[in-house]
């Protein structure tokens, strides 16, 4: 590979009107943090073992899982050797060492250990968390079943208390109750946190979490009374062993129920929690993290597509002139530049969401549940919005790279396959949006009654008769006012429909269900209250419905969005460079920093396993016999 930088990329970087390094420092919170991040990324780049893997798509499923395990255990050992203590250092190392290969221990660190910490009693946490952190106990979060994922209250796995033996008896009473999907259950973990319906003294008290040993700590064999297996290949997550698990009257000690919020006493008495939804805390935490995941996925795809668009020359923009950089086509800019803006918006939304989560979850830990509904609504809405919009955007990035975008060598299919699952896991997006919609509906009616509302939703009470003051300058204030107006009006419209349904005599659940489509649109508008002009132009109908904008203002906005494309054009490459993703993290022949795309594609293709032999065995086994047979045939058409 040559080490020159593509001349078009060189020109793009030299004509940028700002220093990308300053923006990188803003993104990563200062020059020292940037320097440290790069140091750690370079340690990975120099690491022979970590650089010894071929791209994941060159391995079969067994190989991908085996590599994922090897890689992650190597990473754990290296982190110990390097003595990285700060979470940022460890995260930077992990992300560089496994940029697209998901970890078979992801749920152990991401849900199992944090849930033991947050949902166990102090004694339980003291006993189990060190075992989890030292990987003596390797666990996952097993909630979803064949028949239920969304409707947790409908889960069928039972945990029945036996006061004689001071044990819970776990059982999968029906086919649909078999645990199905939990990550790392099939081959990796030896423990699970199992969500099950708790029965004691003949009464069901709803779903609770239980710590269950599923494999022997001696030889990893499956514990008697359990059936465990892999669910099979999926759209992505190939290195992750999502599994199924069936309980057959499987006994665990009473003290294996996580009892921080709810308890079962020795005599079988049930002590209920302050709020039944405290058990759902792990899911809220992961939804908050998924907002950052959506930013990382969309920004990486945007880096690849924008750099490639600067390098790719195709067709004549000026008749007889040289072939144009595709980034100079207005249509290509209209595809990609809004995604660049969206990536930055998601970064800010993710950071804001994490700060709100940190504050409210610490209040909840201290017993103050006042803001729990707001946290739930925000986490549901942003998780759904950012993954939906992010995945749509990643697909636009892929298609904007033409044929090469469809190749794994572009890096984009892996980004998409890994993040698109997030539209489903940790709460199916529509269902999550409806949770937020429920919160908006209740808040709207509280606002109508003159009650005070939390700051984030006070816009619901604005005067909807006001028209826009937007002028040629498209001021920030006028844009925020437009988004607030649109969302407030759409929430009011959905709530009025819900009310009208009730007035017609519908029971409240029907009145709700028959207004959920406008509520989803209103909730998306609520979440969209993040970034500007493009969003208005793309959703103009919703902004115009009550004449909020006049014709002149609509023309201003249409002109503005095209003018913004021209404003961004000279800085597009610098704006993606600022995300500072090194090549080995992007894993993309199209998004390389040096722009040497064709050489990289050619080298990558030559390493494809199918090229290990010049003539494939199928020629000898099938093609040659077919040709020989047809060459003897009298029937000329068979020869064709």
Ligand X SMILES: Cc1cc2nc3c(=O)[nH]c(=O)nc-3n(C[C@H](O)[C@H](O)[C@H](O)COP(=O)(O)OP(=O)(O)OC[C@H]3O[C@@H](n4cnc5c(N)ncnc54)[C@H](O)[C@@H]3O)c2cc1C
Q: Which stretch binds ligand X (CB under 6 A): 10-18, 66-74, 426-434, 552-560?
A: 426-434
Residue 92 in contact with ligand X, rule: CB under 6 A: no
Is residue 416 within 8 Å of 395, Cβ to Cβ?
yes
Strands (E), 165-312: 167-171, 179-180, 191-200, 203-213, 226-230, 243-247, 250-253, 263-264, 270-271
Closer residue to ligand X (CB): 383 or 560: 383
452-490 residues labelled b (16+ CB within 10 A) or e (exposed): eeeeebebbbbeeeeebebeeebeeebbebbbbbbbbbb
b (16+ CB within 10 A) / e for 151-179: ebeebbbbbbbeeeeebbbbbbeeeebbb
Q: Is 174 annotated as a binding residue?
A: no
Q: Which residues bind ligand CO8 (CB under 6 A)?
A: 102, 106-107, 141, 143-144, 149-153, 183, 277, 280, 283-284, 372-373, 376, 425-427, 431, 435, 438
**Cα–Cα distance, 170 to 446 (Å, whole number):** 43
Active site residue 426: yes
Asked if 424 touches ligand X (CB under 6 A), the answer is yes
- For residue 150, state whether it binds ligand X (rule: CB under 6 A): yes
Using CB under 6 A as the binding rule, whether residue 436 contacts ligand X is answered as no
* Residue pair 316/456 in contact by the 8 Å Cβ criterion: no
Half-sphere exposure of 282 (CA within 13 A, CB side): 26
User: CB under 6 A: which stretch of 43-51, 126-134, 145-153, 450-458 binds ligand X?
Assistant: 145-153
Among the listed residues 104, 120, 183, 338, the single contact to ligand X using CB under 6 A: 183
Provide the minimum distance between the beta carbon of 422 and ligand CO8 in the complex, in angstroms, as a whole number.
Answer: 7
* φ and ψ of 505, to 5 deg: 100, 5
- For ligand X, the closer of residues 141 and 308 by Cβ is 141
Residue 277 partner contact from ligand CO8, ligand X, none using kind-dependent CB cut-offs of 5 to 8 Å: ligand CO8
List binders of ligand X among 393-412 (CB under 6 A): none
Angle at the Cα of 236 from the Cα atoms of 233 and 239, rounded to 5 degrees: 70
Is 591 part of any known ligand binding site? no
When the beta carbons of 435 and 604 are compared against ligand X, the nearer one is 435
431 forms part of the interface with ligand X (CB under 6 A): yes
**Which secondary-structure segment (H or E) carries 81?**
helix 61-82
Q: How far is the CB of 185 from ligand CO8 (least distance, A)?
A: 11
Query: What is the DSSP code (8-state) at residue 322?
Result: P
Least spacing, CB of residue 520 vs ligand X, in Å: 9
Secondary structure string (H, E, C) spanning 291-311 = HHHHHHHHHHHHHHHHHHHHH
Q: Is the CB of 309 or the CB of 429 nearer to ligand X?
A: 429
- Look at residue 197 and give the partner it binds from ligand CO8, ligand X, none, a contact being a CB closer than 5 to 8 Å depending on partner kind: none
In the complex with ligand X, the residue whose CB is nearer, 16 or 231, is 231
Smallest distance, Å, CB 224 to ligand CO8?
A: 27
Contacts 24+ apart (CB under 8 A), 152-155: 152/195, 152/207, 152/280, 153/206, 153/207, 155/195, 155/196, 155/197, 155/207
Q: Which of 261, 308, 344, 425 binds ligand X (CB under 6 A)?
A: 425
Task: Pick between residue 120 and residue 421 the one whose CB is nearest to ligand X.
Answer: 421
Q: Which of 426, 451, 542, 599 is catalytic?
A: 426
Choice from 84, 105, 141, 270 touching ligand X (CB under 6 A)? 141
Beta-bridge partner residues of 207: 197
SS3 category, 356: helix
Among 66, 121, 354, 430, binds ligand X (CB under 6 A): 430
Q: Which does 152 bind (CB under 5 to 8 A by kind): ligand CO8, ligand X, none?
A: ligand CO8
Residue whose CB is less far from ligand CO8, 435 or 553: 435
**Binding site feature residues:** 144, 183
Which residues are designated catalytic? Answer: 426
- Residues lying near ligand X in the complex (CB under 6 A) are found at 107, 140-144, 148-150, 181-183, 237, 242, 421, 424-425, 427-428, 430-431, 434
**Binding site feature residues for FAD:** 144, 183
């Amino acid at each position: 590979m040559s080490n020159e930088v593509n001349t078009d990329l060189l020109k793009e970087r030299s004509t940028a009107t700002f220093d990308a390094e300053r923006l990188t420092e803003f993104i990563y919170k200062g020059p020292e943090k940037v320097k440290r991040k790069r140091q750690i990324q370079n340690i990975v780049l120099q690491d022979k073992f970590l650089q010894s893997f071929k791209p994941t798509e060159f391995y079969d499923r067994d190989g991908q899982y085996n590599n994922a395990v090897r890689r992650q255990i190597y990473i754990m050992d290296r982190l110990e050797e390097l003595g990285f203590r700060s979470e940022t250092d460890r995260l930077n190392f992990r992300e560089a060492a496994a940029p697209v290969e998901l970890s078979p221990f992801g749920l152990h660190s991401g849900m199992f250990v944090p849930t033991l910490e947050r949902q166990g009693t102090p004694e339980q946490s003291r006993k189990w968390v060190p075992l989890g952190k030292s990987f003596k106990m390797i666990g996952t979060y097993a909630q979803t079943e064949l028949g239920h994922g969304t409707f947790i209250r409908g889960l069928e796995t039972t945990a029945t208390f036996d006061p004689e033996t001071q044990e819970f008896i776990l059982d999968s009473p029906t086919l649909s109750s078999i645990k199905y999907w939990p990550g790392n259950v099939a081959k990796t973990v030896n423990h699970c946190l199992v969500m099950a319906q708790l029965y004691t003294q003949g009464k069901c008290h709803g779903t609770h979490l239980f710590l269950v040993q599923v494999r022997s700590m001696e030889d990893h064999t499956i514990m008697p009374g359990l059936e465990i297996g892999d669910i099979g290949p999926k759209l992505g997550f190939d290195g992750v062993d999502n599994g199924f698990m069936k309980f057959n009257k499987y006994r665990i000690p009473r003290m294996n129920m996580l009892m921080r919020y709810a308890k079962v006493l020795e005599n079988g008495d049930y002590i209920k929690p302050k709020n039944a939804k405290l058990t759902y805390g792990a899911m809220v935490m992961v939804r908050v993290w998924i907002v950052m995941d959506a930013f990382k996925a969309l920004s990486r795809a945007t880096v690849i597509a924008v750099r490639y668009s600067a390098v790719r020359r195709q067709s004549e923009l000026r008749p007889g002139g040289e072939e144009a950089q595709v980034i100079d086509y207005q249509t290509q800019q209209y595809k990609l530049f809004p995604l660049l803006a969206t990536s930055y918006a998601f970064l800010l939304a993710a950071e804001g969401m994490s700060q709100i989560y940190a504050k409210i979850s610490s209040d909840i830990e201290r017993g103050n549940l006042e803001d729990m509904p707001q946290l739930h609504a925000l986490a549901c809405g942003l998780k759904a919005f950012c993954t939906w919009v992010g995945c749509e955007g990643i697909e636009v990035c892929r298609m904007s790279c033409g044929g090469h975008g469809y190749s794994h060598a572009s890096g984009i299919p892996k980004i998409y396959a890994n993040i698109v699952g997030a539209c489903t896991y940790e709460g199916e997006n529509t269902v999550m949006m409806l949770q937020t919609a429920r919160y908006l509906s209740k808040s709207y009616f509280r606002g109508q009654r003159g009650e005070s509302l939390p700051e984030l939703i006070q816009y619901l009470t604005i005067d909807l008769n006001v028209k826009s003051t937007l002028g040629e300058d498209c001021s920030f204030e006028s844009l925020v006012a437009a988004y607030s107006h649109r969302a407030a009006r759409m929430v009011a419209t959905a709530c009025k429909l819900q009310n009208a349904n009730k007035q017609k005599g519908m029971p409240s659940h029907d009145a709700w269900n028959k207004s959920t489509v406008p509520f989803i649109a209103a909730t998306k508008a609520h979440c969209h209250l993040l970034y500007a002009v493009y969003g208005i132009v793309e959703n103009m109908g919703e902004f115009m419905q009550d004449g909020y904008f006049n014709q002149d203002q609509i023309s201003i906005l249409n002109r503005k969005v095209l003018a913004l494309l021209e404003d961004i054009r000279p800085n597009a490459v610098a704006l993606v460079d600022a995300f500072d993703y090194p090549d080995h993290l992007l894993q993309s022949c199209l998004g390389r920093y040096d722009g040497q795309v064709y050489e990289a594609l050619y080298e990558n293709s030559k390493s494809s396993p199918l090229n290990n032999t010049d003539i494939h065995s199928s020629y000898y086994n099938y093609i040659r016999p077919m040709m020989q047979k047809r060459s003897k045939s009298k029937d000329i058409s068979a020869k064709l």
